[in-house]
């Protein structure tokens, strides 16, 4: 029987590092290995891919989080039971969301983990999508909480792209995207008070040109 699953690379930005949501697989094949949040497509319950996606998000307590399809992978080798196809999605979670299954792992810890199936490849595809799309869109803002400062926005981009940004140029680019709303509140602390913003809509907006690290 042909196996078709929906597999999700779920990421959050926590304490200035990217973390990945995984759970332990409790049955063979790959028993006791770590795996991505996933479900098998059920033709009696899933009328289309969106239905399956929403079902998976709801099962993990991620119903309101941003997600998008990354790719489709299928072959005879990825599952020892036979041919299988994976529909791979990327999901970005703000730090305040509590997943109801699994646990979070820093990306730096992944080389030491035993991952099921070809999930190492699926994770790489999800990260590649995030990093490439972060150069020309507002995608990283989906990793922030309901309210955030411009400094926090810039830091999110820097962590994902692994390069510093020119603050003045970066802020001009963000403001040109016209997606931020001033909440009228400020974050106070050791530094001078910073304006708190929120997203005008949950959509991902394209920049007018691609960013190139410090040239942003």
Condensed to tens digits (0 to 9), the pLDDT of residues 45-82 reads 999 999 999 999 999 999 999 999 999 998 888 888 88
Q: How many domains does the chain have?
A: 2
Same domain, yes or no: 21 and 52 = yes
Task: Tell me which of 72, 98, 133 is where a domain ends.
Answer: 133
Q: What is the CATH number of the domain that holds 153?
A: 1.10.10.10
Q: Which domain holds residue 87?
A: 3-133
Strand partners, 23: 35
Same domain, yes or no: 81 and 171 = no
Same domain, yes or no: 71 and 104 = yes
Same domain, yes or no: 27 and 127 = yes
- The residue ranking higher by pLDDT, 29 or 201, is 29
> What angle, rounded to 10 degrees, do the helices at 150-161 and 167-177 form?
110
Same domain, yes or no: 101 and 144 = no
Average of pLDDT values for 15-36?
A: 97
**pLDDT confidence bin for 203, thresholds 50/70/90:** confident
Contact between 179 and 141 (Cβ < 8 Å): yes
Same domain, yes or no: 146 and 203 = yes
Q: What's the length of the chain?
A: 216
Q: Would you say the pTM of this structure is higher than 0.75?
A: yes
Task: Tell me which of 133, 163, 197 is where a domain ends.
Answer: 133
Predicted local distance difference test score (pLDDT) of residue 76:
86
Task: Tell me which of 84, 109, 133 is where a domain ends.
Answer: 133
Helices assigned H by DSSP within the chain: 49-59, 119-133, 150-161, 167-177
Predicted local distance difference test score (pLDDT) of residue 81:
87
Same domain, yes or no: 112 and 189 = no
Predicted local distance difference test score (pLDDT) of residue 3:
86
**pLDDT confidence bin for 213, thresholds 50/70/90:** low
Percent with pLDDT over 90 in the chain: 84
Predicted local distance difference test score (pLDDT) of residue 40:
95
Same domain, yes or no: 112 and 154 = no
Same domain, yes or no: 197 and 103 = no
- The residue ranking higher by pLDDT, 175 or 215, is 175
State how far the Cα of 160 lies from the Cα of 213, in Å rounded to an integer.
11
Q: What is the CATH number of the domain that holds 29?
A: 3.90.79.10
Question: What is the DSSP secondary structure assignment for residue 143, as one 8-state letter?
Answer: G
Same domain, yes or no: 167 and 122 = no
Question: What is the residue-averaged pLDDT of the chain?
Answer: 94
Same domain, yes or no: 83 and 143 = no
Same domain, yes or no: 117 and 188 = no
Q: What is the rounded end-to-end Cα distance, in angstroms, of the chain?
A: 50
């Amino acid at each position: 029987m042909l196996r078709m699953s929906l597999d999700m690379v779920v990421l959050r930005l926590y304490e200035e590092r990217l973390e990945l949501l995984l759970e332990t697989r409790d049955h063979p094949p790959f028993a006791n290995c770590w795996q991505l949040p996933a479900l098998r497509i059920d033709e009696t319950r899933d009328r289309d891919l969106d239905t399956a996606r929403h079902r998976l998000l709801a099962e993990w307590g991620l119903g309101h989080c941003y997600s998008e399809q990354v790719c489709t992978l299928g072959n005879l080798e990825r599952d020892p039971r036979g041919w299988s196809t994976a529909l791979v999605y990327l999901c970005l979670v703000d730090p305040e969301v509590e997943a109801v299954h699994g646990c979070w792992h820093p990306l730096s810890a992944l080389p030491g983990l035993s991952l099921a199936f070809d999930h190492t490849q699926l994770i790489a595809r999800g990260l590649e999508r995030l990093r490439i799309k972060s150069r020309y869109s507002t995608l990283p803002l989906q990793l922030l909480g309901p309210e955030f400062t411009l400094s926090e926005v810039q830091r999110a981009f820097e962590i994902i792209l692994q390069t510093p940004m020119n603050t003045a140029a970066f802020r001009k680019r963000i403001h040109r995207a016209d997606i931020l709303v001033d909440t009228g509140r400020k974050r106070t602390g050791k530094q001078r008070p910073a304006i708190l913003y929120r997203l005008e809509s949950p959509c991902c907006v394209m920049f007018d040109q691609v960013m190139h690290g410090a040239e942003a």
